[in-house]
Structure 1
Amino acid sequence: MDLADLGDAFAAFWQERHVCTLSTARPGGPPHVVPVGATLDLASGIARVITSGTSHKARLIGEPGARVALCQVDGRRWSTLEGRAVLRTEPEQVADAERRYAARYKPPRVNPSRVVVEIHVTRVLGNV
């Protein structure tokens, strides 16, 4: 999926500072929805969320390829990114995600157990 084809308004919306929600599935299917900061790389079609490796959301990702939804809302504008998630623990991947997070929000606090929820976007919904 080429996210750049969704236009400048879409790209700008995902660069503005907004709190997002990440939805994962609990055992048995009910959703687990939590507020997160997220970044989106249009060129690669990858969204990233930094979190602690011991967090419930990280544990729910479990095996690679877990289905997730990442959403942000600003009044009537909204966008949901659906995709498959994997946890990345490599120091260079974590550092890259921290840089991206700092550019959109602010520098994250120090967290030696930080991991990255890397979402390979497969579907986009919204009104931007």
Structure 2
Amino acid sequence: MSADDALFEKGLPIRREVLGADYVDTSLAKADDFMMAFQRATTSWAWGWAWGDPTLDRRSRSLINLAMLTALGKPHELKLHVKGALTNGVTVDEIKAVLLHATAYCGIPAGLEAFKAAHEILVQEGALPKKDG
């Protein structure tokens, strides 16, 4: 087994546990040869190499991801990682705190996008009540 294959095999179960097996398996199943190169790279590098490093726990990695995705202005990915953060035991208050912290450093527009994206997922996942109106 090559080093790349080993990282892929190490990262795949971590990716499934954090993001959900349905999401990951659907992403892999939909990938043609062109997109499978990306699927293999992200599973190996992000999940096998980075998330597979035992130095930081998954809760910490989730909090870091939320801040980085806010800074990068990537609300679509942030939504995915809000679900992952909940899976990793991050509380709604901790998600709110990290988004406020990121807002202070990244600016109001980035923070607003992040808050809207996170709110949508938190309501969808039942972590926040749906407000009628």
Superposed pair shares fold, TM > 0.5: no
Query: TM-score w.r.t. structure 1 length?
Result: 0.28
**Larger strand share, 1 or 2:** 1
